[in-house]
Amino acid sequence: MLGVCYYPEHWPKERWKEDAQRMRALGLSYVRVGEFAWALLEPEPGRYAWDWLDEALETLAQEGLKVVLGTPTATPPKWLVDRHPEILPVDREGRRRRFGGRRHYCFSSPVYREETARIVRLLAERYASHPAVVGFQTDNEYGCHDTVRCYCPRCREAFQAWLEARYQEVEALNRAWGTAFWSQRYRSFREVDLPHLTVAEPNPSHLLDYYRFASDQVRAYNRLQVDLLRAHAPGKFITHNFMGFFTDLDPFALAEDLDFASWDSYPLGFTELMPLPEEERRLYARTGHPDVAAFHHDLYRAVGRGRFWVMEQQPGPVNWAPHNPSPAPGMVRLWTWEALAHGAEVVSYFRFRQVPFAQEQMHAGLHLPDGTPDRGAEEARRVAEELARLALPPLEPAPVALVYDPEAAWVYEIQPQGAGWRYLELVYAFYSGLRRLGLDVDVRPPGAPLEGYALVVVPSLPILRPEALEAFQKARGLVLFGPRTGSKTEHFQIPPDLPPGPLQALLPLRVVRVESLPPSLEEVAEGPLGRFALGVWREWVEGRAEPLLRFADGWGALFREGRRFYLAAWPSPDLLAALLPWLAREAGLKPLPLPGGLRLRRRGRWTFAFNYGPEEAEAPAPREARFLLGARRLPPYEVALWEEA
C-alpha cells in the first residue's frame, strides 16, 4: 500500500478537499498527519484548537483515506520553552541549545515528560474513536540533529540513578570501569559526571554506559507515549519513524514497545554522506547506492519483528545533503518497489506537496508548491496502479543472516583504535557484498535465533553476550566472524583470556596483537582464495588450524574451524568478492554475481530485479519465468518482477 505525509496546517482549508481527492486519485491509502503541530493545537498554554485537525481528518476520511496521527512532541511551542527553559538540551560543548529548529528538548527532563504526557493523552483521547485514525506515530525521528545525547543537569542526575540501578554498589562500578587507572575512583554514584569536556579522553566504560543510558532514556520517553496511547486510544497501532545510517539509538530495544517499525528513506541524501570511491559516487548520485535502501529495509524489518513501513519516501530532490541532485527518472517508482519487495507494508511519500516556506522549502514533494503534480506523483500513481493488480506473496526468511549490533557502533565510536575503522562501513561492505551475489539477507540482532540460516555473517561483534554465543552455537549453517569479535567484555574491558573472549568456546583462537594501519600501508594475505592487499586493521592470531589465508609473515588472516570462520583483518573489496561467493557455495547456496547496478529480491516464488545502473541489464530469470512487471531486459532505473515456474 502507498501513503503520503500531509500538513493541512500549511495550507488554506479551502485547499484540503482537492488535496484529499488527488491523494485518492493517485491511489494512496494512508496519510500521516500532525507530527509537528503542537503550537497550532495548543496556541496558548491550556487553550486548545482541535477544530482544524478535526476538520482536516474529516476531509481525509471522506475520501476513504486512513490516517496515521503523529504526536507533536518533536516541536514544543515557544511558550512552553519560555516557561521551562530547562527542557532545552545541552550539547557536548556544554552549550544550552535553543528554540528555532526542532527536537529542542531533553529526554530526561521531568517537566518535559509531564508536558508530553499531557498533550499525548489529550490527543489520544480526542481521536481514540475516530474511524479514520488507524494508528499513531510517536514523535518524529528520535535522535535527529544529534539529540540522543544531552549534557544537562537533569541528564547527569538521571545517569547517576541509572548507574546505581545497574551497579548497586559503587565499587562494582569502580571495578567495571577500571577506575584504578588514572585515579578515577568514585566514592559514590553522586560523584559521577557526564563524560564530556574532560582534559584527556573519558574512560571508555564511562562513555559506553552513558551511550547506553542515553539510548535507554529515549526508549523510556517513547514508552511513556506508548503507554498513554494504548491506554487512551486502544486498538490503534503505534509506530515510530527511525532514520538511516543512525546508531546513537538502539532501535531493537525501542521497537519492543511498538507494533511495528517505520523508517525514512532518502537514498540520495544518504549516498551523499557515504564514504564512496569517486566513480561510485558519480555513478549512483541520482539513484542512491544500490544497497542503501535495501539494507535499511532489512534492518528495520528486523527491528519491527518482521513488520515495517517506509514512513517517508524521497519523492524528488531533498534539501539537507551537501548536494541535492534530482533522482533519475523512474527512481521514485524503483525505490517504492524495492521497499515492497523487502516487505514494506506501506510506502509513504514525504511529502504530498512542497512547502514554500521555512526550513524545508527546497525539499521536493509529490506536488509543486503551487499544487501542480511534480514527477514523483506520476511515478507513485504508476506503482499504485501496478500494485492494485498484483497480490504479493508473503516474504520468506532469507538464506543469509547478517548480525548487526548498535552497541558495536558505540564501542568503535568510543575506541576506533584506527581512524579508518567505522562499524557501519564494515557492515555495509558485507551486506553489499552479499547482495551483489543476488542473495537475500535477513538482519539479525545479536542473540536472535540463527538456526534457519545457511550462512551467518557477523561483521564484528565486540561484546559477545551469552545469548549471542548460544545463538552462534546453535547455528546450523556456516558462520563468519569478522575482526574484533569478542574483543571486549560487557564493561568495555579486554577479556581475561584475551580476544575473541567467549568466542573461544567455538573457535579456539587467541588474538595476541592487533594494529590499525594508515592509508599508505597494506598487508598482503594469500591463500587458495587469492592474494589480497589488506589495510585498516590486522590481527595476530594464535590457533591450531591451518589458516585459509596467510599474511606474508606467516600468521593467519582467515581461520576455519568446522562451520566457523574468523577473519583477522579488515576485508578489502576484492577479498569480499572472492570470499563471499566461496562461502555461499560452501553453505550450499547458489550465489549469482550480478553485473553493475543490478540487484534482486525475492518474495516467495516471485523475484524482483532492480537496475540502479545507467546501462541496460539482463534479469537472471529462468527461461520459463513469467514476467509480472517489466521484462528480461531492464533499461536503466527499471524494475522487473517474475514468477518462477
The footprint of its own copies on residues 236-265 (CB under 8 A) is none
615 belongs to the binding site for its own copies (CB under 8 A): no
Question: Which region, left, alpha or beta, applies to residue 636 given φ > 0 means left and ψ of -120 to 50 means alpha?
Answer: beta
Dihedral sign for Cα 175, 90, 239, 113, please.
positive
Out of 312, 379, 386, 523, pick the active-site residue: 312
Handedness of CA 81, 84, 87, 88 (dihedral sign): positive
Q: Report if residue 607 touches its own copies, rule: CB under 8 A.
A: no
Query: What is the per-residue DSSP string for 228-270?
Result: HHHHHSTT-EEE-EE-SS--SS-HHHHHTTSSSEEEEE-HHHH
141 included as an active-site residue: yes
DSSP letter for each residue of 13-59: HHHHHHHHHHHHHHT--EEEE-TT-HHHHSSBTTB---HHHHHHHHH
Full DSSP string of 409-438: HHHHHH--SSTT--HHHHHHHHHHHHHTTT
Residue 567: CA count within 13 A, CB half-sphere = 25
**Residue 152 marked in a binding site:** yes
Angle ∠(596,602,605) on CA atoms, nearest 5: 130
Which phi and psi angles does 616 have, rounded to 5°? Answer: -60, 145
User: Binding partner of residue 152 among Zn ion, its own copies, none, CB under 5 to 8 Å per kind?
Assistant: Zn ion
Residue 585 touching its own copies (CB under 8 A):
no
CB of 574 to Zn ion, least distance (A): 46
Quick one: cell of 260?
Answer: 511495528
Q: Which does 86 bind (CB under 5 to 8 A by kind): Zn ion, its own copies, none?
A: none
- For residue 446 the three cell numbers come to 545479536
Binding window for Zn ion (CB under 5 A); candidates: 153-161, 507-515, 520-528, 532-540? 153-161
- The correct pick among 129, 168, 198, 473 for binding its own copies (CB under 8 A) is 198
Alpha carbons 298 and 222: distance in angstroms, whole number: 23
Instruction: Establish if 204 lies at the interface with its own copies (CB under 8 A).
Output: yes
**Rounded Cα–Cα distance for residues 530 and 574 (Å):** 9
Among its own copies, Zn ion, none, partner that 155 touches (CB below 5 to 8 angstroms by kind): Zn ion
**For its own copies, the closer CB: 197 or 631:** 197
Among positions 78-117, residues that touch Zn ion (CB under 5 A) are 106, 108
Residue type at position 542:
E
Contact present, 531 and 539 (Cβ < 8 Å): no
In the list its own copies, Zn ion, none, the entry touching 187 (Cβ below 5 to 8 angstroms by class) is its own copies
Site for Zn ion in 332-391 (CB under 5 A): none
Shortest reach from residue 313's CB to its own copies, in Å: 17
Which residues in the 301-340 window bind its own copies by CB under 8 A?
A: 316-317, 319, 322-326
Closest separation in Å from C-beta 220 to Zn ion: 13
Of 15-23, 101-109, 229-237, 595-603, the window that binds its own copies (rule: CB under 8 A) is 101-109
- Interface mask toward its own copies for 166-195; x: CB under 8 A: -----------xxxxxxxxxxx---x-x-x
Site for its own copies in 459-488 (CB under 8 A): none
Strand order in the sheet with 639-643: 598-603, 606-611, 639-643, 626-629
Is residue 312 part of the annotated active site? The answer reads: yes
Q: Which of 36, 237, 582, 627 binds its own copies (CB under 8 A)?
A: 36
Among positions 18-57, residues that touch Zn ion (CB under 5 A) are none
Q: Cα(286)–Cα(637) distance, rounded to whole angstroms?
A: 10
Q: Which does 111 bind (CB under 5 to 8 A by kind): Zn ion, its own copies, none?
A: none
Number of other CB atoms surrounding residue 96 within 10 Å: 12
Q: Give the shortest CB-356-to-its own copies separation in angstroms.
A: 4
Active-site pick, 35, 115, 141, 379:
141
Instruction: Tell me which residues in 5-24 interact with its own copies (CB under 8 A).
Output: 7, 9-10
Binding residues among 540-569 for its own copies as defined by CB under 8 A: 540
Query: Is 515 a binder of its own copies (CB under 8 A)?
Result: yes
**Which residue in 61, 128, 368, 384 binds its own copies (CB under 8 A)?**
368
Nearer to Zn ion, 120 or 150 (CB): 150
Q: What is the DSSP letter of 132?
A: T
Size of the site for Zn ion (CB under 5 A): 6
Binding test (CB under 5 A) with Zn ion, winner from 37, 152, 619, 634: 152
User: Is the separation of the CB atoms in 186 and 193 below 8 Å?
Assistant: no
State the binding string over 405-444 for its own copies (x if CB under 8 A, else -).
----------x-xxxx------------------------
Report the residue from 29, 59, 75, 239 that binds its own copies according to the rule CB under 8 A: 75
Task: Tell whether 563 is in a known binding site.
Answer: no
Cell numbers for 505: 568456546
Are 1 and 30 a contacting pair, CB within 8 Å?
yes
**For its own copies, which residue of 21, 129, 168, 359 counts as binding (CB under 8 A)?**
359
Residue (145 or 626) nearer to its own copies, CB: 145
How many residues of this chain interact with its own copies, rule: CB under 8 A? 112
C-alpha cell at 392: 504479493
**Lookup result for grid cell 518524529:** 140
Three-state DSSP class for residue 583: helix
Choose the contact partner of 101 out of its own copies, Zn ion, none; CB within 5 to 8 A by kind.
its own copies
Per the listing, cell 507515549 goes with 225
Q: Decide if residue 457 touches its own copies (CB under 8 A).
A: no
Q: Looking at beta carbons only, is 96 or 474 nearer to its own copies?
A: 96
Contact between 288 and 265 (Cβ < 8 Å): no
State yes or no: residue 273 binds its own copies (CB under 8 A).
no
| Interaction between residue 158 and Zn ion (CB under 5 A) | no
Residue 5 annotated as part of some ligand binding site: no
Q: Count of CB atoms within 10 A of residue 276's CB?
A: 15
Q: Within 10 A of 128 (CB to CB), how many other CB atoms are there?
A: 15
**Contact letters (x/-) for its own copies, 484-503, by CB under 8 A?**
-------xxxxxxxx-----
Is 542:510 a contact under the CB 8 Å cutoff? yes
Beta bridge partner(s), residue 172: none
CA distance 625 to 645: 6
397 near its own copies, judged by CB under 8 A: no
Name the amino acid, one letter, at 50: W
DSSP letter, residue 94: S
If one asks whether residue 39 binds its own copies (CB under 8 A), the answer comes out as yes
Q: Establish whether 241 is an annotated binding residue.
A: no
| Residue 319 annotated in ligand binding | no
Q: Does 122 bind its own copies (CB under 8 A)?
A: no
Chain positions contacting Zn ion, by CB under 5 A: 106, 108, 150, 152, 154-155
Active site residues: 141, 312
Report the binding-site residues for substrate. Answer: 102, 140, 320
Binding residues: 102, 106, 140, 150, 152, 155, 320
